[in-house]
Amino acid sequence: MMIDKIINNKYKILEKIGQGTFGCIYKAINTKTDQYVAIKIESIESELQLIKYETKVYQYLNTNSLKDRQIPNDVGIPTIKWYGKDNDNYYLVMPLLGKTIHHAAPYSLEKVCTIGKKILSLIEFIHYKDIVHRDIKPDNFLFSINSINSINSINSINSIDSDFEIIYIIDFGLCKIYKRDGIHIPEKTTKDIIGSITYASIHAHSCIELSCRDDIESFAYMLIYLYLGNLPWQKETNREKLILWKTHIKSLNKKLNNIIPEAFLKIIQYSRTLKFEDSVDYKFINSLLSC
């Protein structure tokens, strides 16, 4: 039983708030400062040890030299408060964030484009740091606590001034470095699909190594979800049908009376024109989101 357990002599676990790809997430309080935190927990028996890997990624992304591109003010990457283990688990302690971006979906088209631009800047920053996320989906983008307080006071997320919102990206357990010393990793096949099957790119379904282009395709699917409140294939688990629907998404949209905004379809189309090692034209995508 994790509730009321004390971690590192100061973090008291209060309640379970989520389930990550490879571990549980709990809300806790620092008993010395009364500050709320989030703790990701992974069993010590896990052979993957993804929390240890994820900790290094967070630290790397939050370490900037003078030559590095800075993270924009209205988006963020959580900082690590503590990483450690005991006889049972590995622990990753981070600041407590708000709800995921999909908690109030569907949004207006204008709101989706506003959120999309912020998420795009996060993806661009991560790619700039030579990392491909490989699990872009609504669950991995959260508002800050302050954003949620603003949302609750106004009672409508669609009416909030975007200046009040800070969006954070989380869950780097599946991410991968795609460049080493400026050299792109080679294209190869993978043993199985990587990331969420619902938001996976066409290449992911074909078990082809993921690169920046695949983060962008998943990003476009996420925009569609935020606008519609679901995806046409949301509950589908048959991989062959998923591939068909995603491959022929333009035809699918016509059957659905063109409910998917053209801008989102263009992002998908653009991502599929990119070769494995191609750089992404973020400015072009950003221009498509000027809804």
Average of per-residue pLDDT across 26-39: 96
What is residue 83's DSSP assignment? E
**Annotated active-site residue in 74, 135, 139, 215:** 135
Predicted local distance difference test score (pLDDT) of residue 69: 72
Closest C-alpha to 76, from 18, 135, 147, 153 = 147
Residue 1 counted as domain residue: no
Q: Are 139 and 212 contained in the same domain? A: yes
Q: What is the pLDDT of residues 123-182, one digit of tens each?
A: 999 999 999 999 999 999 999 986 544 433 333 444 444 445 799 999 999 999 999 999
Q: Is 130 one of the catalytic residues? A: no
Is 200 a domain residue? yes
Q: Is residue 102 part of a domain?
A: no
Among the candidates 37, 71, 95, a domain finishes at 95
- Give yes or no: residues 59 and 12 share one domain: yes
Number of domains in the chain: 2
The pLDDT tens digits for 213-229 are: 999 999 999 999 999 99
Of 95, 121, 149, the last residue of a domain is 95
Is residue 125 located within the same domain as residue 251? yes
Averaged confidence pLDDT in the chain: 90
Preceding omega of 106 cis (within 30 degrees of 0)? yes
> Based on the domain organization, do 128 and 267 belong to the same domain?
yes
Q: Which domain holds residue 166?
A: 109-288
User: Within this chain, do residues 44 and 145 fall inside the same structural domain, yes or no?
Assistant: no
- For position 20, what pLDDT does the model report? 65
Residues 262 and 171 in one domain: yes
Q: Is residue 204 part of a domain?
A: yes
Q: What is the dihedral of CA 72, 219, 161, 167, to 10 degrees?
A: -50
Same domain, 78 and 125: no
Percent pLDDT > 90 in the chain is 81
Q: Residue 20 is encoded by which pair of tokens?
A: 């990550």
For 36-66, the pLDDT digits (tens) are 999 999 999 887 788 999 999 999 999 876 5
Residues 66 and 196 in one domain: no
pLDDT score for 4: 93
